[in-house]
A and B are shown apart, each in its own frame.
Chain A
Amino acid sequence: MSTTSPVASFYNDHSRTMIDWLKSWFLTIDHKRIAILYLITINIFFLLGGAAATVLRAELVTPQADLVQSDTYNKLFTLHGVIMIFFFLVPSIPAVLGNFLLPLMLGAKDLAFPRLNLLSWYVFFIGGLFALAATSLGGVDTGWTFYTPYSSTYANSNVILTATGIFIMGFSSILTGINFIVTIHKMRAPGLTWFRLPLFVWANYATSIIQVLATPVLGVSIALVAVERLLGVGIFDPALGGDPLLFQHLFWFYSHPAVYIMILPAMGVISELISCYSRKRVFGYEFIALSSIAIAVIGFFVWGHHMFVSSQSVYSGLVFSFLSYLVAIPSAIKVFNWTATLYKGSISYSTPMLYAMGFMGVFVIGGLTGLFLAASALDVHVHDTYFVVAHFHYIMVGGAIMAYLGGLHYWWPKITGRLYSEIWGRLSALIIFVGFNLTFFPQFFLGYLGMPRRYHVYPEEFQVLHVLSSAGSTILGIGYMIPIIYLLVSLRYGEIAKSNPWRAKGLEWQTTSPPPTENFEHTPIVTEEAYAYPPEEPERDAASYRPGSPL
């Protein structure tokens, strides 16, 4: 990328040869460059996971198997799940936006352990290579959930390669988590007390705790699958004296909290967006901040809600159901506080704000349908059906990806020094919202009708709903392609961004766009809370509106 901004940015380099240039990127310890490395890598994974989803949706247009046969279908949904969860969603907001912004928001020069940060990208990348190798050598067909004894004994696909990839990727998640926790504790600028931190930082703090505490359990469970497969040690397969449900307990002990690894940072982004585009301090700051921590803590004790029909005891069912309702409350608190933030604000419909509003709409539906699934008796019916598929896509695609895109747009000028096309931005936000809902809303009906997940042939009466869903996914797919195009175009042709194009609060906006390698010329000193918009700011902003200026 050519750098035209007047002040030296972190893109500037003095490398004269190609090798130097490569070194300046692949051996960089600058958190901003590492964030860019992540950005590129995870977006490639996103495209791959999306391509798999496209084939799945195309296959599901008809009740028979026509496009792909069962084996291919099973490998495709496994690929889709593994890639999207472990190689896209888990790293997405923390590793890209978090990496880029955390030091900036804290007024720091870098993360606490810059080399560790680079290492975690390499570890991630190597993990990804293993997963890709598994795919190109024929794929794996266990589902991203790797349920035993299917995965440990019966499957004859590349389980071990994929498991190794996820095992390795887990370390990158842990390393990033440790790095963030230490950075937030130790590297805050003078005056930046805990309750002056942006909510994005709080969210990433809570996420990091989960990453550090839960990921090792994933590593262990997946390693045990490999051990049983390779050495025939009886751990999960009852034929060898193992217990198949043990795996589910271990797996969900990570994978439920993993949902919060994906959604908490998203919530952090939303708080930033809503505040900026309402020109107001976030309503109930402390409640939003602490609710992230509450979610992280309670989220560790709800894993059994994935096992209501697994033959676990009814009393476990009772406890896990209760805790699942409890964990929903902090999320509700956030939604209400965001809504209250809008009151008496001065709102603009900029692209990131549209994503934030879209997030709220779909997140509410995703969250509420979670309450259906937490109802043990109801889950008996809808467990492992499309109802679940719809629910978690509302949280993870509707929620996490929309927030990721909203955040990417919001901080794009900071990251690249360029402004994107506002018209295309808003248009694609709308297309994504419509496409998303058309894809996944019919799936709630499918699920309640009894359509099991992971079926590529199905009874004819489900076809209409499947066709609707596939039609929606086409729109959604187009919606995702548009930003890729205009964001890339903006790198060359976009208007040069000022330091603070959105007139937002937050230390990251006080430095140049894109920031210099050291982030700040002088370490900033913080004297006010986060989102310190003056009380008259909404009025002033509304008064400055002229007919004809952008909405």
Chain B
Amino acid sequence: MWGFPLFPEQASTVAGQIDLLYFALVGLSLIFAGILPFVVLYLIVRYHRSMKADRSNPINSSLKLELTWSIIPFILSMGVFFWSTFLFFQINADPDDPLEIYVIGKQWMWHLQHPNGKRENNELHVPVGQPIKLIMTSQDVIHSFYIPAFRLKKDVVPGRYTTMWFEPTKTGEYHLFCAEYCGTEHSAMIGRVVVLPLPDYQRWLTTEEPAILPDGSTISTGVSSDSGGSMAEIGAQVFQQQGCVSCHRTDSAARAPVLNNIFGKPTSLASGETLTVDEEYLRESILRPQAKITVGYGPIMPTFEGQLTEDQVLQLIAYIKSLSDVDANEENQ
């Protein structure tokens, strides 16, 4: 308990930049909060009724002063605004070639799955010095994935994917918190982020360990186990089992678009719009196909809302992505 910190550790590429902005703001605040109280103190002592002072010709308005103390704070705050917005865009722009990890939040547990199929709960193992992207959703209420040492958080919202990326700069263990109030055991929805050197991370990926699935059952996970292999491989199985393949196929019986090489590419909708295929779009195409119809096809795809678990949807997406991105596919093996 003693020897408590007053400042959090910096362990991601953005942490230093955010701290810099923070200290700039602290500095600016000190100009006001550090000086103004002394001005006030000086004035209330200097002009206390017991003090002899020149009180003649008090003024009670001055346009010049008003303009000065409106415009200077305005300019300063605009400086902060541009700086912080620039950083904000940077934090939110996807990095090149990130390692993707899938996160499912539920009351009151984090479930994480690595592309090779390894799963873990309330812990996130990542390699140091690599951009990592989390693709997150919630099975129930809103949660928020927060790693103070990285200075990052993002809400984890049911019914959609949110993403967050970071690049750890230091090996070690860091707090993982749920920052959005999510019910009774909100404050127990915590864990740790373990940043490992790349070889250790790879070794960890292939060690077998038990994990709790989002549906509550326990399995043993790790590539060598019979938990089904990589996310894309499990996704391929789901694709078969759910009968997706009866429509989405490459032969002449196909009644639906081929899903090869669609991820990350533009797609045209019957409504005339063009969109880039991303996780959110795939999710919607699977769960609510009628919302966006691909041009040239009829609205015949059944809705899978309520029939697939969040886990399965993520696996299907990983599978569809693996049909597009050969590089990523290899890397994940």
Contact = CB atoms under 8 A, between A and B. Distances in A.
Q: Do A and B bind each other?
A: yes
A348 interface: yes
B70 A329 contact: yes
B51 interface: yes
Contacts of B149: 450
B151 A278 contact: no
A153 B181 CA distance: 14
Contacts of A147: 141-142, 180-181
Contacts of A239: 158-159
Interface in B77-120: 77-78, 80-81, 83-92, 107
Interface in A344-373: 344-349, 357, 360-361, 364-365, 368-369, 371-372
Given A314-B88, A378-B22, A542 B178 contact: no
B8 A450 contact: yes
B227 interface: no
Given A325-B78, A328-B73, A455-B187, A311 B21 contact: no
A378 B37 CA distance: 26
B155 A309 contact: yes
Contact of B188 (A344, A360, A457): A457
Contacts of B33: 364-365, 368
A450 B87 contact: no
Interface in B1-35: 1-2, 4-8, 17-18, 21-22, 25, 28-29, 32-33
B85 A321 contact: yes
B188 A449 contact: no
A238 B159 contact: yes
A459 B187 CA distance: 10
A360 to B, nearest CB: 6
A457 B47 CA distance: 49
B165 interface: no
A551 B50 contact: yes
A332 B40 contact: no
Interface stretch (A7-15, A253-261, A462-470, A507-515): A462-470
B69 to A, nearest CB: 4
A400 to B, nearest CB: 19
A283 B60 contact: yes
A454 B49 contact: no
B43 A539 contact: no
Contacts of A154: 107, 140-141, 183
B217 interface: no
B181 A454 contact: yes
B39 interface: yes
Contact of B60 (A74, A145, A280): A280
A376 B84 contact: yes
Nearest to B79: A325
A314 B158 contact: no
Contact of B7 (A285, A339, A448, A456): A448
B49 A542 contact: yes
Interface string B139-157: 0111010101101111101
Nearest to B186: A454
Given A344-B58, A381-B18, A542-B55, A329 B77 contact: yes
A343 B47 CA distance: 7
A499 to B, nearest CB: 22
A360 B88 contact: no
Contacts of A310: 155, 157
A383 B18 contact: no
A445 B6 contact: yes
A149 B158 contact: yes
Contacts of B146: 384, 450, 452
Contacts of B179: 383-385, 452-453
Q: Tell which of B37, B85, B86, B89 has the most Cβ of chain A within 10 Å.
A: B85
A329 B175 contact: no
B22 A448 contact: yes
A337 B62 CA distance: 10
B88 A377 contact: yes
Interface string A518-535: 000000000000000001
B155 A461 contact: no
A465 B66 contact: no
A541 interface: yes
Given A343-B58, A545-B49, A377 B18 contact: yes
Contacts of A149: 140-142, 158
A539 B56 CA distance: 7
A150 B92 CA distance: 26
Interface string B54-70: 11111111100110011
Interface string A306-349: 00111100100110011001001100110111011111111111
Nearest to B136: A311
A311 B182 CA distance: 17
Contact of B43 (A74, A339, A453, A464): A339
A272 interface: no
Given A368-B33, A461-B5, A380 B88 contact: yes
A141 B2 CA distance: 33
Nearest to B78: A325
Interface in B181-227: 181-188
A285 B62 CA distance: 10
A410 B280 CA distance: 58
Given A311-B155, A357-B40, A280 B48 contact: no
Given A376-B88, A378-B18, A454-B187, A345 B55 contact: yes
B153 A381 contact: yes
Interface string B295-307: 0000000000000
Contact of B73 (A238, A332, A344): A332
- 3 A-B pairs with the lowest CB-CB distances in the bound complex, closest first: A238-B159, A450-B148, A375-B84
29 contacts: A70-B185, A147-B141, A150-B182, A239-B159, A243-B159, A284-B60, A321-B81, A325-B74, A329-B77, A333-B70, A344-B47, A345-B55, A357-B44, A365-B29, A368-B28, A371-B77, A445-B6, A448-B7, A449-B7, A450-B146, A452-B177, A453-B179, A453-B181, A455-B186, A460-B1, A461-B1, A462-B4, A538-B58, A545-B49
Interface of B: 1-2, 4-8, 17-18, 21-22, 25, 28-29, 32-33, 36-37, 39-40, 43-44, 47-62, 65-66, 69-70, 73-74, 77-78, 80-81, 83-92, 107, 140-142, 144, 146, 148-149, 151-155, 157-160, 162, 175, 177-188
